[in-house]
Structure 1
């Protein structure tokens, strides 16, 4: 047999089974981060094991608008060198110019290369000159025990069992894919606190310009590596995208701050405010995105748009430009992203999203908001969502609640503040059954099991439980 074996004798049956001796396994890869100076037009080096590679350069010494940069790499795996592969250079991924996080370094999109122990890299301008202060970034995200786990959908409302608005699809949380939340403080304590925009008006579709042959178990590590690259290499506060979708049709929570809230991302420079970014993992310039990937992308966008009362066929104005509510990255600037094969599917995405959300908005909260007027209410901040006993949407000036038992009513001002502190929709006080109304000496609002009462002379608000008038 050529291998040492041991004989297991099954005395009870007289049978024998030859089992191979267990072979020693390599220890799991440990996380690491390496930066190699690219002082000349190219570099070659043997390195510690890494799985993702990229090239960056100083934004100040090589500002946007100068000569284009051409970057390429090849890596050493199992003693052999791969072919050279071009890296996508995207200078308009990132935070808005006015955002509290800055673009410290420009760079390429990162490339997943598997397990490599050597790298050759090159970065030159279109005229062949060296790019000053260039660095080769090598990231090993390590392996976690949970990388091979399939995400569980327990506790997630399934589309078939819910009514409007369209529900949040099953999604791999940051905790589940292994986000190290300490990394958000890498570029300063202010970065650790999520930033929010006013509302959600549009979705931008991206591709990561990565490879397309990754395995299911590699995806969490790929997301961790992108997170590290965006923070440590580019100088951002967090992972740039709000959501990611892999080729197997799985959605991943991106930037920290609450998937249901309008978290300010760093995905489409100058257009991040009032939008969110969905990045499909892979390169779809010449390869068509799989059907499962497209379907999950449609479900993520349908959930966010429907909760905020947006139509996938509408247009809006962002940063002075008129755009579709579902746009590709290239609709904002001259870029290959999200790849021609994915960009050509945007029409299908819009139609599929429209089908998922039922073609129009008709919830009780939306009708109530239309009656009052969005000019008065402001835009949705926390889109329409389930509460313990009904539904709610948090607008700029009011929180609106609905259930069959209570009807549709809102809280505002000090009443909203106090009700939130109690736990909006709390089982003890219940949902509002009236809007705010004036009484002698102040204001009052009735709930299912009590009142909030504002005593104007005292300037205080009280909670009164019970059904007495």
Structure 2
């Protein structure tokens, strides 16, 4: 339910499918909604009631934070005022609530035990309002990792009137953290004792007893300003939640006749739902026609034992704090591939949910724990989400890869006015109907993969080859256009390949296929043995690969070597693993070659690159050329005298990364994407990469 507010950056509205489906589901595939509620006793644990406390936002300390992660948002320079809370009891989830309609943009971050801070998490208002007595509105409940201290950055809220003093924080390293949308933030120093390097002072009192706090805290503008008068901090409550840890039961939901093929799902009893929190019986729609994919936002840094606690916290927040009477999602998934029963009433029943404003009727939600606008969802998560969607599509009687017509119910959280006729995939993303980034750019790129997993599960149930409880290993579907690793065609390695003809290569920085693979293998072995010296020595190569491979090796993120076409690649290595060196993004637009390339791509294909996330970095290549590059949310622009400025993104961009970036056998790109028959192709100095949109297959060929 995360609403995309990358402030200061114009956002392109997602384009939904306009193609009407002509195919009818065969009579054998047409299911009828189950008449019996699926039994959910299964393996269980004792109910767990999360710890929760609330207090007025005004009661928090006003702290002036000189952090680029906040200062970069909106207009103006200088520090920002934030609210800081320190509790005696540890908590792991945090939210803000209020009554009535308020347009608030909020970011949260938690302080870790070592004094460092998490990144800033975007916390947007939930797109559902209850008419129950005492119901509230609020932000997403954000998992900020176990902590006792949280900071809150807000716009449109008067943070200063309730306090007469404030401490000032500057990052210990002078750098600050990255922007709230970044994958990982360099930790800013905590509000620390004076002995630490952080500057922490108390601002002198101003006339009238009010501290001269910065007045530009409101420069983090909300997307839509409805009132020029700031909301008082006294009108907002801070919510501190902790769902605890627990082991998951070995078995999922007990089987019923209509649950054939259902993957292993942890029942409400299995994750410890306290059923006394529910305040009403479930409401049922007449059928289920589509599945909506979400993410919960917040930190991805949770353990398997912490995941049930996150579910419990969301349940308590939705049911009790907001007054929804139950959790909004019908089901949830964690990054380990575990699935959880959500809203009460039966997974095989059309329980009316609270998850996609304007499109809650006749839809069924799966929400992934974590923020997949900043990192890739795991393969285990995508597979389990797809298989659950395939089972639920079979129960509902609709084709997972088909489309259907929906009519908007209207909401301030959807761009479709009430009554609008919309054709949507039968498995669609929240952002397809809502003013939101949910389920995040990386999960959104996996939607076709989810549909193919669902189709495979759906077909296996129809054919009678599927088993329940996750016992069946289904045939892996065709990969599709995603931001994840490209489809690999496994081939028998010959132990070496011929030189690809790269010119200007030296013995220190291998550029043919054999030595590039040897380099990757060395890094993999070094990282697994805890030795990062080989990775560090790549710095002398002065290349994109030096940065990306060095970082990946130090984090143990390098995967196995496989083969695509006639080139060996490292599974999972991506453009996103390149670390920004310069943060001055203004230099990108000031570079004429790069600016021309960016404008050319945008005018033809839209904002496929996303926003800049680095300045222009320059290095000397192995043949003496000066190479420049700039990083973007979804890709990269590389410029050299011999190749010109070229942009890479998506599956082809990640395929180039996985073969070793500029140290690999392909060298640098020499063209943009172009169509050749049914394929999309990019040429490189020593070969080419093609991508088939119909099948998702990526092929790499060297000269």
Class of the TM-score when normalised by the shorter of the 2 chains: 0.5 to 0.7
Q: CA–CA distance in 1 between the matches of 2:287 and 2:358? A: 16
How much has 1:100 moved relative to structure 2?
A: 6.3
SS at match of 1:330: helix
How much has 1:102 moved relative to structure 2?
A: 8.1
Is 1:172 the equivalent of 2:271?
no
How much has 1:204 moved relative to structure 2?
A: 0.2
Q: CA–CA distance in 1 between the matches of 2:132 and 2:289? A: 22
* Partners of 2:143 and 2:299 within 8 A in 1: yes
* Structure 2 counterparts to residues 19-30 of structure 1, below 5 A: none
Q: What are the superposed Cα offsets for residues 363-397 of structure 1, whole Å, 9 maximum, x if unpaired?
A: 9xxxxxxxxxxxxxxxxxxxxx9xxxxxxxxxxxx
* Structure 2 counterparts to residues 362-441 of structure 1, below 5 A: none
How much has 1:59 moved relative to structure 2?
A: 4.5
Is 1:51 the equivalent of 2:86?
no
Is 1:151 the equivalent of 2:191?
no
Which of 287, 292, 310 is 1:199 aligned to? Answer: 287
* Partners of 1:56 and 1:105 within 8 A in 2: no
Which of 235, 241, 244 is 1:139 aligned to? Answer: 241
* Structure 2 counterparts to residues 34-183 of structure 1, below 5 A: 34-39=53-58, 42-62=82-102, 66=103, 69-78=104-113, 80=115, 82-83=117-118, 85-92=120-127, 94=128, 104-125=135-156, 127=219, 130-132=230-232, 133-143=235-245, 147-153=246-252, 156=255, 167-183=261-277
* Partners of 2:335 and 2:369 within 8 A in 1: yes
SS at match of 1:116: strand
Taking a change above 3 Å as real, the CA distance of residues 353 and 83 of structure 1, as seen in their structure-2 partners, is: closer
Q: CA–CA distance in 2 between the matches of 1:155 and 1:333? A: 35
How much has 1:113 moved relative to structure 2?
A: 2.9
Structure 1 segments, 4+ long, off by >6 Å, are 359-363
TM-score, with length taken from structure 2:
0.41
Which has a greater percent of strand?
1
How much has 1:117 moved relative to structure 2?
A: 1.8
> What is the aligned partner in structure 1 of residue 440 from structure 2?
339
Q: CA–CA distance in 2 between the matches of 1:141 and 1:154? A: 22
SS at match of 1:358: helix
Q: CA–CA distance in 2 between the matches of 1:35 and 1:140? A: 12
Q: What are the superposed Cα offsets for residues 341-383 of structure 1, whole Å, 9 maximum, x if unpaired?
A: 00111112212222222299689xxxxxxxxxxxxxxxxxxxx
How much has 1:284 moved relative to structure 2?
A: 0.6
Q: CA–CA distance in 2 between the matches of 1:247 and 1:102? A: 36
Q: CA–CA distance in 2 between the matches of 1:182 and 1:50? A: 24
Which of 340, 345, 348 is 2:449 aligned to? Answer: 348
* Partners of 1:54 and 1:108 within 8 A in 2: no
Q: CA–CA distance in 2 between the matches of 1:30 and 1:261? A: 26
How much has 1:236 moved relative to structure 2?
A: 1.2
Taking a change above 3 Å as real, the CA distance of residues 325 and 130 of structure 1, as seen in their structure-2 partners, is: same
Q: CA–CA distance in 2 between the matches of 1:229 and 1:325? A: 29
* Partners of 2:106 and 2:154 within 8 A in 1: yes
> What is the aligned partner in structure 1 of residue 364 from structure 2?
276
Taking a change above 3 Å as real, the CA distance of residues 166 and 323 of structure 1, as seen in their structure-2 partners, is: farther
Taking a change above 3 Å as real, the CA distance of residues 149 and 325 of structure 1, as seen in their structure-2 partners, is: closer
How much has 1:141 moved relative to structure 2?
A: 2.2
> What is the aligned partner in structure 1 of residue 333 from structure 2?
245
How much has 1:166 moved relative to structure 2?
A: 5.7
Unaligned residue ranges in structure 1 (runs of 5+): 1-28, 186-191, 364-384, 386-469
* Partners of 2:252 and 2:267 within 8 A in 1: no
* Partners of 1:198 and 1:273 within 8 A in 2: no
> What is the aligned partner in structure 2 of residue 374 from structure 1?
none
> What is the aligned partner in structure 2 of residue 219 from structure 1?
307
Q: What are the superposed Cα offsets for residues 53-73 of structure 1, whole Å, 9 maximum, x if unpaired?
A: 3332435151xxx5xx22122
Q: CA–CA distance in 1 between the matches of 2:337 and 2:56? A: 38
> What is the aligned partner in structure 2 of residue 233 from structure 1?
321
Which of 261, 274, 293 is 2:349 aligned to? Answer: 261
Taking a change above 3 Å as real, the CA distance of residues 224 and 342 of structure 1, as seen in their structure-2 partners, is: same
* Partners of 1:206 and 1:279 within 8 A in 2: yes
SS at match of 1:263: coil
How much has 1:84 moved relative to structure 2?
A: 5.2
Taking a change above 3 Å as real, the CA distance of residues 114 and 83 of structure 1, as seen in their structure-2 partners, is: closer
Q: CA–CA distance in 1 between the matches of 2:400 and 2:333? A: 19
RMSD over equivalenced CA pairs, Å: 3.0
Q: CA–CA distance in 1 between the matches of 2:54 and 2:403? A: 43
SS at match of 2:284: coil
* Partners of 2:249 and 2:266 within 8 A in 1: no
